[in-house]
Amino acid sequence: MLGGGILHGLAVTAKNFVGSFTDPERLVTLGYPEERAPAKENARQFPFLVFDGADPQAGLRCVACQICEKECPPQCILIVKSKTKKPDHLGKPQFFPATFDIDLSVCMSCQICVEVCPFDAIKMDQEFELATNDRFEGLLRHRDQLARPNAHFQKLHPTDAAAIDARRAEELAKAAAAATAAAAAPRKPAPESPPAA
Amino acid sequence: MNPAAAPRTFEVRPSPDAADPVHDGSLLEVSLGPQHPSTHGVFRMDVVLDGETVVKLKPVFGYLHRNHEKIAENTSYLGSMPYTDRLDYFCSLTSNWAYALTVERLAGLQVPERAEYLRVITAELTRLQNHAAVCGFLLQDMGALGTPLMYAFRERERILDLFESLTGARMMCNYMRFGGCRCDTPPGWLEQARSVVTGFGAFLDEFEALLSSNEILLGRTQGIGILPRELAINAGISGPMARASGVAYDIRKVDRYGIYDQFEFRVPLGDHGDVFDRYMIRALEMRESLRILGAALQRIPAGPVIDPKAKLRGFRPKPGESYGRIESPKGELGFYLISDGGPNPWRYRIRPPSFINLTILEDLCLGRSVADAVVILGSVDIVLGEVDR
């Protein structure tokens, strides 16, 4: 019958139309911004810098090794290494970034900085409402704007954060054990200077 | 006063354009695009019309040129991976795979079995969402405004949710690495994928009931834009377009890259090579992808997802060259790399399927009306990110 196919199709449309009122499974849209989809643990938007403890300056994990700056495909990171050093979580003196800028208008959210960072210092944030009136300074994030506490990272990526925290605690325990062992062991006698002839 | 000055004579000559029918007014030249919604992006068609009939058509590309190949020659091998997402932004995972496959051949890396399964699963999910979206857009071009496209996007959204929970991004996945995949599946992901695959079969039934027997659709697509088999082969057409013309050429079967030799699936072929065949081939391919996905999600083994020898930083393959190709949803996607042993490729070349499929657009459109040309372009399935690179 000519037109049978059209009627058949219209029946499908009608079924969907009525179904979306009766079956909550068929209601696939969300009323943003009042309603929001639950965040996914792996989701990524833009990078942030992790710091331990309460002070974003003292606890910053970044040691300004500049690996992420070199590996970043669109080159959106600018790091200036400090002249002085500060102790890291193991008490070892390390450099820190005097400047750490990320240009969000250039960043393409590829996560390569996170993958190459050997210090777990840079991670991906899930904040996506970044609209600003100032497209130059407003989208250029500086070190202190990028710094977020470790608790923020634990909230966004619990699985990753748990693994990293466990590893860092282990490193710390090992370093503490080595320090106590070194303190307990008798100090190695200094090499004797050759007797004066 | 200029001493060389002399009186000049002028003769009235006929305009050099007088012989050109475009300029004598019998034909009309229309620039369709580059911002026309039917051109699927910034693509322009220079169309010469005799009334409503197309007598000449020149595709004009390059509005989205981003210098991808040259940028890739100046960045590290790893640094090009996120750029491959932006080639065909509907199917970033297959672009990732083609590039990773080529670099793995260049560097001699082995891919663990679980990673191969993950690649097949993500690539077939990509094919599902690409074909669903293409069918929706094709029907939208024919005037079925909204309904089929929204149904297709509803299903596509479920697959993009899977991509987001696996890779972190809906479209720019950046998931594959040389020698495997970036991360393993989050807990519960495989079950979620199984339920999406099950639901997709029901969607295909609904989608075909909605339109595949619709008389208007048949009238608008059957016998339109016929691509003869010989022309398809001579012009190097690949993917669903070639198969709709009856060319039995599917790289999953021809090359058997990855672990496609372990899966049972059929390659649908068309007889007529018209727009309807190209539409139906995609619908049938989605069903075959569902078979592959069902088997892969059932058989996926445990294990590592990346070759332990693979290095992320300081990756320098030994000098040499390699060509890797896969069956992307749009056709044969190939990468050609030459390494001189340095940290970045010496030459990096892409064979994009939709660019080469687009070259025969004039042959398909000649003698048809403008409305048909729009439908034919929709059935070619182009993504301008890949055409212009």
How much is the pLDDT for B337? 92
Residue with tokens 């090992």: A174
Longest dimension (CA), chain A: 120
Whole-angstrom CA distances from A94 to A52, A80, A166, B221 are 15, 14, 22, 68
Q: Of the candidates A9, A43, A73, which has its C-beta nearest B214's C-beta?
A: A9
CA distance A160 to B200: 32
Judged by DSSP in three states, B29 sits in strand
CB B129 within 8 A of CB B196: no
**Dihedral (Cα; B46, B48, B54, B57), 10-degree rounding:** -30
Q: From the CA of A192, how many Å to the nearest CA of chain B?
A: 45
pLDDT band, residue B25 (cuts 50/70/90): low
- Nearest residue in A to B153, CA atom: A28
* B215 vs A6, A16, A71: nearest CB: A6
With both helix axes pointing from N to C terminus, report the angle between A4-22 and B189-211 in degrees, rounded to the nearest 10.
140
The secondary element (H helix, E strand) that includes residue B54 is strand B53-60
Give, for A47, the enclosing helix (H) or strand (E).
Answer: strand A47-51
Question: In angstroms, what CA-CA distances link A81 with A100, A101, B328?
Answer: 9, 12, 44
Interface of B with A (CB under 8 A): 75-76, 78-83, 85, 147, 151, 154, 157, 161, 164-169, 172, 174, 182-183, 186, 206, 209-218, 312-313
Minimum distance, in Å, between the CA of residue A159 and any CA atom of chain B: 9
Q: Which of A42, A156, A157 to mutate to test the interface with B (most CBs of B within 10 A)?
A: A42
> Quick one: which of B99, B72, B105 has its CA closest to B342?
B72
| Among candidates A4, A11, A115 on the partner chain, residue whose Cβ is nearest the Cβ of B312 | A115
Find, among B69, B97, B114, the residue nearest to B326 by Cα: B97
Asked if the Cβ–Cβ distance from A6 to B165 is below 8 Å, we say no
Diameter of chain B measured on Cα atoms: 95
- Taking the C-alpha atoms of residue B115 and residue B98, their distance in angstroms, rounded to an integer, is 14
B335's tokens: 């990468």
d(CA B305, CA B33): 44
Calculate the alpha carbon distances from B90 to A100, B177, B329 in Å.
Answer: 34, 19, 9
Looking from the CA of A3 toward its CB, the CA atoms found within 13 Å total 0
> What is the spatial distance between Cα B18 and Cα A45, in angstroms, rounded to a whole number?
59
The identity of residue B97, as a single letter, is: W
Q: Which residues in chain B are closer than 8 Å to A28, comparing Cβ atoms? A: 154, 157
B164 neighbourhood in chain A, CB within 8 Å:
40, 42-43
In one letter, which amino acid is B369? S
Given an 8 Å threshold on Cβ–Cβ distance, is A3 in contact with B169? no
Cβ of B210 and A13 within 8 Å?
yes
User: How confident is the model over B26-45, as pLDDT tens digits?
Assistant: 788 888 877 776 677 788 88
Residue with tokens 């509005």: B63
- For residues B281 and B285, what is the distance between their CA atoms, to the nearest angstrom? 6
Distance CA A128, CA A124 (A): 11
Mutate to test the interface with A, among B118, B139, B157, B164 (most CBs of A within 10 A): B164
Interface confidence: ipTM more than 0.85: no
Query: Which of B66, B74, B78 best tests the A interface by mutation, with the highest count of A CBs <10 A?
Result: B78
For residue range B59-74, list pLDDT tens digits in order. Answer: 888 888 888 999 999 8
Q: Where are the alpha helices (DSSP H) in chain B?
A: 68-73, 81-85, 92-107, 113-141, 147-167, 189-211, 215-221, 229-234, 240-244, 251-254, 275-299, 353-358, 361-365, 370-380, 384-388
Per-residue pLDDT of chain A (197 residues; tens, 9 = 90+): 677 778 887 888 888 888 878 877 777 788 888 888 888 888 888 899 988 878 888 888 888 888 888 889 988 999 998 888 888 877 788 888 888 899 988 999 888 999 898 888 899 988 888 888 888 888 888 888 888 888 888 888 888 888 888 888 888 888 888 888 877 776 655 555 555 54
Checking phi first, is residue B109 left (phi over 0); if not, alpha (psi -120 to 50) or beta?
beta
Question: Closest Cα partner for B188 from B166, B169, B207, B213?
Answer: B166
Asked if B313 and A109 come within 8 Å (Cβ–Cβ), the reply is no
Residue A60, CB-side half-sphere exposure with 13 Å CA sphere = 23
Residue B46 contacts by C-beta under 8 Å, 6 or more apart in sequence?
Answer: B29, B30, B31, B32, B56, B57, B58, B59, B60
The model's pTM is: 0.85
